């Protein structure tokens, strides 16, 4: 994990690092803590109140491989490549503990949360899974959508209002209407020239990291 000072956008600089025991695939930051999905290293909790000196304060080992994490206090929703979604109580940062889990969901790689639902994408099944997390101790899958054009690797998912955006290796960005979480519907896609691997959304714009061709900015206009 690297902490970068971006106060001068033209000259970003690394101010701190922390070498997790596994491979850090995903991260979410809440307050003074970074929650890291660390592959075989499970969930790592790192205090970053002093960015120059990050310190691990807690961790939770899991039998599978942690690939992404999203925090909605006091829970960390951890994506487990082998076993689906794990719900971790992080109210005690030093002793995180699992309180709920789903059955396996293919090989999930990324998660996004909105309201009472978590949206996960599966690498191997080329699917979008919608999980009801209104009761974190009993997360329940409510729908699965097979993505028609995603015949290669799926990397990421993000949300904006009633739409989910899925980054895929060959099909670019796929757009799914999730206004009814129990019946998601694929409504379109934008094919970047290379491999869409990561995304972030800000207002009307979707920022897409393309493996071979850099950054694409898509305007989100729906009529």
21-46 residue pLDDT tens = 999 999 999 999 999 999 999 999 99
pLDDT, position 223: 47
With H, G, I as helix, E, B as strand and everything else as coil, classify residue 106: coil
Which tokens belong to 156?
Answer: 């990421």
Q: What's the rounded mean pLDDT across residues 42-66?
A: 96
Predicted local confidence at residue 152, as pLDDT: 65
pLDDT for 68 equals 97
| pTM for the full predicted model | 0.93
Q: Mean pLDDT across the stretch 128-150?
A: 92
The string of DSSP codes covering 42-91 is: -EEEEE-SSTTS-EEEEEE--SS-EEEEEEETTEEEEEETTTEEEEEE-S
Mean local confidence (pLDDT), 183-196: 90
Report whether pLDDT(149) > 70. Answer: no
C-beta separation of 67 from 79 below 8 A: yes
- State how far the alpha carbon of 84 is from the alpha carbons of 30, 34, 51, 87, 204, in Å: 23, 22, 32, 10, 31
More confident position, 114 or 154: 114
Taking the alpha carbons of 102, 108, 109, 110 in that order, is the dihedral positive or negative?
A: negative
pLDDT at residue 151, as a whole number: 58
The per-residue DSSP string of 117-175 comes to: EEEEEETTTTEEEEEE-SSTTS-EEEEEEE-TT--S-EEEEEEETTEEEEEETTTEEEE
* pLDDT tens per residue across span 78-124: 999 999 999 999 999 999 999 999 999 989 999 999 999 999 999 87
User: Is the CATH number 2.130.10.10 carried by domain 102-219?
Assistant: yes
- pLDDT, residue 123, reads 82
């Amino acid at each position: 994990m690297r902490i970068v000072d971006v106060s001068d956008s033209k000259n970003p600089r690394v101010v701190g690092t922390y070498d997790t025991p596994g491979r850090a695939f995903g991260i979410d930051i809440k307050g003074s803590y970074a929650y890291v999905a660390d592959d075989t290293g499970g969930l790592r909790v790192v205090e970053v109140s002093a960015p120059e000196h990050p310190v691990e304060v807690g961790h939770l080992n899991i039998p599978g491989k942690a690939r992404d994490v999203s925090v909605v206090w006091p829970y960390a929703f951890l994506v487990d490549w082998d076993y689906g979604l794990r719900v971790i109580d992080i109210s005690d940062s030093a002793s995180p503990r699992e309180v709920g889990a789903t059955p396996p969901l293919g090989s999930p790689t990324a998660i996004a949360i909105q309201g009472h639902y978590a949206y996960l994408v599966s690498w191997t099944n080329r699917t979008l899974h919608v999980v009801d997390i209104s009761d974190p101790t009993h997360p329940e899958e409510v729908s699965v959508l097979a993505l028609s054009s995603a015949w290669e690797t799926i990397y990421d998912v993000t949300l904006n209002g009633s739409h989910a955006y899925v980054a895929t290796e060959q099909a670019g960005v796929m757009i799914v209407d999730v206004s009814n979480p129990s019946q998601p519907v694929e409504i379109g896609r934008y094919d970047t020239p290379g491999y869409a691997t990561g995304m972030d959304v800000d207002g009307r714009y979707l920022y897409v990291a393309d493996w071979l061709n850099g950054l694409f900015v898509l305007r989100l206009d729906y009529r």
